[in-house]
């Protein structure tokens, strides 16, 4: 970045926000928003507690502070929670995005909206940024609506679609497949993992690097953010066990019909990451490279 900038990251305490904070250029002032009443100890970001569903609070924040750009990552991101708590999830995702986009439009600020691979139905992988969306669950439908809101109401925007993300999360926020599987295996507990859902998973620090490149270059359009290796969830679990020296025989390969109560997943949303590599200069990392970086403390 050429000069000191103040960047607002909504949902800054989540896995993506943590990846951004840990890869932030030294010259940037990071302002982070989350909703519940806690603080992340030792964070370099200025942490604000604010409910983005509250339009007056959002408007007041943008009236008081000047931001060079905004990354909007906050919202309910659990696919199964959204499926069973739809009204609450609509408010969290749609109302918050409406409030943030309105504030960015009035102040003429570039918004980077964080979407998802769940916008696709998973039947035509690998997916490029130009492929048609067709979500199969409520979470995917909400994210498609938020993408439309951004595209149709803002002049200056970028949409990034991270795929399944892994990395060290803050203790205050939800676990991800790597930390969850590691925790279960460390306790000697068995884990059933599906062999019929595929992605090329993304290390959260790589996601952070890609977002900083977006903030630097301000390209308009959509970017797929993913890793360099397509795996199913069982293969993911085996890689976690091997990286952390845990017992892979506790992992049981199953198919999705073993979990009839959860939201439908698109079977294969593997991304083409050419645009990320070429335009953002972020090389896709294999799952084993990302897990090795985690094991080394990254």
Ligand X SMILES: NC(=O)c1ccc[n+]([C@@H]2O[C@H](COP(=O)([O-])OP(=O)(O)OC[C@H]3O[C@@H](n4cnc5c(N)ncnc54)[C@H](OP(=O)(O)O)[C@@H]3O)[C@@H](O)[C@H]2O)c1
Strands 46-49 and 28-34: parallel
Considering only 8, 30, 74, 285, the residue that binds ligand X (CB under 6 A) is 74
160 binds ligand X (CB under 6 A): no
Cα–Cα distance between 95 and 114 in angstroms, integer? 15
Q: Which two tokens stand for residue 27?
A: 């010259």
Angle of CA points 25, 27, 29, to nearest 5°: 95
Stretch that binds ligand X, among 10-18, 80-88, 104-112, 234-242 (CB under 6 A): 10-18
Smallest separation (angstroms) from ligand X to the CB of 139? 8
What DSSP state is assigned to residue 60?
A: H
Report which secondary-structure segment, H or E, holds 253. Answer: strand 251-254
Selection from 211, 235, 254, 154 nearest residue 20 by Cα = 211
Angle of CA points 24, 30, 35, to nearest 5°: 120
Cα–Cα distance between 177 and 129 in angstroms, integer? 25
Residues 27-56 binding ligand X (CB under 6 A) are 33-36, 50-53
Considering only 14, 122, 167, 208, the residue that binds ligand X (CB under 6 A) is 14
Binding to ligand X by CB under 6 A, coded x per residue (else -) over 163-202, reads: -xx-------xx-x--------------------------
Report which secondary-structure segment, H or E, holds 252. Answer: strand 251-254
136 binds ligand X (CB under 6 A): no
Nearest to ligand X of 75, 266 (CB atom): 75
Smallest separation (angstroms) from ligand X to the CB of 52? 4
Number of residues that bind ligand X (CB under 6 A): 30
The site for ligand X (CB under 6 A) is made up of: 10-11, 13-17, 33-36, 50-53, 73-75, 77, 92, 96, 114, 116-117, 162, 164-165, 173-174, 176
């Amino acid at each position: 970045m050429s000069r000191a900038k103040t960047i607002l990251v909504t949902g800054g305490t989540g896995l993506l926000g943590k990846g951004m904070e840990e890869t932030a250029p030294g010259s940037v002032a990071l302002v982070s928003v989350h909703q519940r009443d806690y603080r992340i100890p030792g964070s370099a970001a200025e942490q604000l507690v604010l409910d983005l569903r509250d339009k007056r609070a959002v408007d007041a924040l943008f009236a008081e502070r000047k931001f060079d750009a905004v990354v909007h990552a906050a919202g309910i991101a659990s696919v199964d929670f959204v499926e069973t708590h739809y009204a609450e999830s609509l408010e969290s995702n749609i109302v918050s995005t409406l409030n943030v986009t309105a504030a960015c439009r009035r102040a003429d600020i570039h918004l980077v909206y964080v979407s998802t691979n769940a916008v696709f139905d998973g039947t035509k992988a690998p997916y490029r940024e130009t492929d048609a969306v067709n979500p199969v669950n409520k979470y995917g439908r909400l994210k498609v609506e938020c993408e439309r809101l951004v595209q149709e109401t803002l002049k200056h925007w970028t949409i990034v679609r991270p795929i399944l993300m892994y990395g060290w999360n803050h203790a205050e926020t939800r676990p991800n497949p790597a930390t969850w599987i590691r925790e279960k295996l460390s306790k000697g507990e068995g884990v059933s993992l599906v062999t019929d859902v595929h992605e090329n998973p993304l290390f959260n620090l790589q996601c952070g690097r890609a977002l900083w490149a977006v903030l630097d270059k301000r390209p308009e359009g959509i970017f797929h953010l993913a890793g360099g290796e397509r795996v199913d969830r069982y293969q993911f679990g085996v890689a976690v066990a091997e990286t952390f020296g845990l017992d892979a025989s506790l992992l049981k390969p199953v198919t999705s019909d073993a979990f009839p109560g959860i939201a439908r997943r698109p079977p294969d949303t593997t991304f083409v990451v050419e645009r990320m590599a070429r335009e953002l200069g972020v090389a896709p990392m294999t799952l084993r490279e990302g897990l090795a970086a985690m094991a080394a403390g990254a």
